[in-house]
Structure 1
Amino acid sequence: MSMQTRLTAGDAELTISPENGCRIESLRIGGTEVLRQGERFGCFPMVPWCGRTENGRFRNGATTLQLPVNAPPHAIHGTVRDLAWKPAKTSATEAVFTCELGDPWPYNGRVTQVFELAEDALTLRFGVETYDASFPAQAGWHPWFLRNLGRGGQDVRLDFTAAWQEERGDDHLPTGRRIDPLPGPWDDCFGMPEGVDVTLTWPEELELKVTSREPWVVIYDEPEEAVCVEPQSGPPNGLNTHPRLVTPIDPLEVESVWRWRRL
């Protein structure tokens, strides 16, 4: 059994598994689990890229680099969800973990993930730093929220207003065209230039709002058991299409807040 870190605030309880990619294993609110259970689920970090990178290849200046193709023909969801993270700081309501970036990622650096639990909110933060060379990077979260809380209530409802939807090609990558948002089901990236703001409502049970200053969110609600609301610092294949350089003086910092209330 791997070591877990538990945070509590009021009747909220967060369980983190640093050895399993520093994923959130469980979030219980008033004793009710809101995340899909299982070693691949919960909520995992997507760093140093989010979603799919086309054919596992990206450019950094004139150099073309190859990543392991773990979702053929593409590379998906970064490398750190497969690694063990080290605790840097823990209290009753806050935990900080770090993870070294390196092979199979072609650059050396460090990722820091911060969890802050309050009675009615969870604040998540990433910092991505380089030790030497600059590189493009992305960071985001991939939570699997339960479609149904399992207490006889209704399935979750999603509410959000996006400025656009990234048109998705047959290869699951954005084509580069922005279209008016289509009805679901989705495995799609949406643009929210004012910042991510998505509300999940389990009628008469719970409302949970996912926000971030970042302008991108992937909504994935095709699975029967869960819906994923993934705030991220760039769109799928963004290492190629929207590169954001991490430099020695300019780390990538990303934050998301989940805020909830009983209904």
Structure 2
Amino acid sequence: MALRNALLAAAACALAACNQSGAPEPDPPAVQLYAMDCGHSTFSDIGMFADDGSMNGQSRTLVVPCYLIRHPSGDLIWDTGLPEAIADMPDGWRPDGFPAHFVVPVKLTAQLQQLGLTPADIEFVSFSHMHSDHTGNGNLFTASTWIVDADERTRMFDAEHRADPQDFNNYNRLETAETQLIEGDAEHDVFGDGSVRVIQAPGHTPGHTVLLVQLPNAGAVLVTGDMWHLAESRERRLVPSFNTDRAQTIASMDKVEALARENEALVIREHVQEDFDAMPRFPEALN
């Protein structure tokens, strides 16, 4: 009998991955959220992030993250960071006439590779909005289904942005990718079970969105794009001077705050280092 039980236990471990104690490993949580470091932006003057002039002349380094959501029905990459080509520049990138220095310490593709993934393996791609620190690697995901607000897509492919190849060429090949448009005031349920929702929050750009993820253990997480750039921005309701619509921005702030309360969500201000540091260090996941 003892021999029979030992053989049965060995068979169980052969069929299910076992830990060192011989017990079967637990199944991974249904939904997992990974925070990846996709660059840093050091500004000599962050005045542009507050149209009331309160941040003029101050310097600050902002983190530029990418987020991977793994779900039993597929993977979603949310925001793709700065172009990974910057990683090959010895001194990073300093755009002429712009008060910032951009660096990329680790390429997005290299981080995906740590999970055994390539961009072609990712089923869905979505950006909080069109700016180059969020769409910098967009063209890596032309095999993915692109989830995008209809107004944002129109703006991304208008004549003005086609004439700016530096940014446009980060995402231009998505024009012919399989696309799911978010129209009107709707939100988009990525996997159809309420666990991952793309929610409209315009004002920073015409079709800016936020992401609400329901994790089985950690609960709700609200990833807020450029709703708030700075640690001070949320409490003081600072509006960047370059936002497309100030009133819309304030309304979206109210909407996102209500979402956070209703879902008791952890709010991630994407460019704030302390919020990024509060996430598990990649390749560990929040779940």
How does the TM-score come out when normalised to structure 1? 0.29
Q: Which has the higher strand share?
A: 1
TM-score, with structure 2 as normaliser: 0.27
Which structure's residues are more often helix, by fraction?
2
Structure possessing the higher radius of gyration over alpha carbons? 2
